[in-house]
Amino acid sequence: MAPISIRTVLISESVDPRCRAILEENGIRVTEKQNMKKDELIAELKDYDGLVVRSATKVTADVINAADNLKIIGRAGTGVDNVDVDAATKKGIIVMNTPSGNTLSAAELTCALLMSLSRNVPQAVMSMKQGNWDRKKFMGSELYGKVLGIVGLGRIGKEVASRMQSFGMKTIGYDPITPVEVSASWGVEQMSLDQLWPQCDYITVHTPLMPSTVGLLNDETFAKCKKGVKVVNCARGGIIDEAALLRAVESGQCGGAGLDVFVEEPPKDRNLVDHPNVISCPHLGASTKEAQARCGQDIALQIVDMVKGKSLVGAVNANVLASTFSQESHQLIKLGEAIGAVLQSCTASQTPLSQVHVINQGDCMKSSTGYMTSAVLVGLLNHGSGCSSNLINVLSLAKESGIMVNQTHCASDGAAAENVCKVEIVANGCSYKANGSVQCGVPILLELSGSVFRQPVALTGNLLFFKASASPQLLSSVAGLLATAGVEIESFSGPSDRTGDLWYCVGVSSPLPDLGALKSLVKEAAQLTL
């Protein structure tokens, strides 16, 4: 990936001072401005390339759509539910988090709540402060030998498992992504949720908040659990249905809950918070000096590494960019964009574009299939249209435009150019094709809609393409017309074949002022600057 230019960053919440220091040490101008209202944030953000937030700043679609210069939103923490990721993606803005910054702090708080539930520690503390000495009232139970169900076996789930195993707990879990053999190596036996619920003495959730996890623990799932099961949520409010949890606690089906997060923060409905069997905290999962320092430093370092073209870590909506940090990938992206731009120019009168098929041929192209398809689409949609697509948003923009996109990879066919990008598009019912490769670091065009060039076209500078029947006078006639317009020929590529209407390419010193002047000499003509 070509380095993204980030010159200015707005930090809208309190983060570790090292965040600002790291950014400024790397030439990025930083402004810190906290406690802004939505309108104030919108007005301020228009001047910045980057935004760094924690969890309080709500980066809504309105905020994103008003920020014309914004290229990256950095979340100093894990969850990004305060950022409209879909709106950011649609606008081509990277959303980045610090996936490991608060892992240990969140895991430790989870363990603290599990232990507090087992021994009624907070309730006993409050009783002592009220002048009481009631040992029988706060009879607890050991964690040793109990079953802990961990829903979500990512970084935090793994750390919770290792710590609670030290207390002699049996750890079981569920995760749709983590392989069974991987979690087994941590001592966690994976199973389905329906198998997990009835076995657990304690349940802790460590999933993101998404449609599939909203209300994961509800009336139906509580009914499947052991009577008296205890639950902990240090992930996101809403994963446990709060109304269902209150009913389960009141009935005794749930023996207690430890909550660090709520659907509404702070919660206006105090029924859960005030219940004697519920331990609650004001979202303290990442509230340690170490986690805040780690998250602040991590987000700054990740932004700097991205700007320098070193790596991309923590991008939640830009997986296509992960493998675009080598010089080879930069060249291939330029190739894809150039092929797309050539096809767009040569089919400008043929609308609408309905299909795009990208075939990457050769061993070196196998890992590039994802970003090559996006690069081709950027060239097709951006060139001459005023569209502002990039590798992040172009697939969603193509889908919105009704363009069917297919991508495949195949082995080399033994041709001179081993690694080739082949593109076929359908516009207004007609098919157009282009094949290209990279030669000595320069993107080249090998073939255009059946015309195989004797000398590959270097896809750089001002290029004039025209389609015509071969004749001895063709080149001299075109050269004369260009000379009359004050345009010099710098290169010429003709087709290997000499029969029928074929495509030619002329490298020129400047674009032809009036492309229509060629009408008497050629069937079709297009020009572009790369």
The residues annotated with a catalytic role in the active site are: 236, 265, 283
Owner of token pair 């009220």: 130
DSSP class per residue in 248-268: HHHHTSEEEEEES--SSSS-S
> Quick one: which of 508, 498, 505 has its CA closest to 525?
505
Q: Is the peptide bond before 99 cis (omega within 30 degrees of 0)?
A: no
| 3-class secondary structure, 417 | coil
Strand extents, DSSP E, 168-267? 170-174, 188-190, 202-205, 229-233, 254-259
Contact 32, 53 (CB under 8 A): no
Q: CA of 270: how far to CAs of 19, 123, 165, 266, in Å?
A: 36, 17, 34, 10
State the Cα torsion 352-355-361-366 to the nearest 10°.
110
Alpha carbons 140 and 212: distance in angstroms, whole number: 34
φ and ψ at residue 424, rounded to 5 degrees: -125, 130
Contact 253, 223 (CB under 8 A): yes
Owner of token pair 């059946």: 450
Q: CA of 396: how far to CAs of 210, 402, 442, in Å?
A: 20, 10, 29
| 3-class secondary structure, 468 | strand
CB atoms within 10 A of CB 408: 12
Half-sphere exposure of 495 (CA within 13 A, CB side): 22
Q: How far is CA 230 from the centre of its chain?
A: 35
Return the CA Rg of the chain: 30
Alpha carbons 37 and 57: distance in angstroms, whole number: 9
- Helix axis angle, 103-119 to 155-165, nearest 10°: 40
| 3-class secondary structure, 383 | coil
DSSP class per residue in 64-128: HHH-TT--EEEESSS--TTB-HHHHHHTT-EEEE-TTTTHHHHHHHHHHHHHHHHHTHHHHHHHH
Scanning 227-350, the segments in alpha helix (DSSP H) are 242-251, 271-274, 289-307, 327-346
Strand pairing class (29-32; 72-75): unpaired
Q: What angle do CA 299, 303, 309 make, to 5 degrees?
A: 145
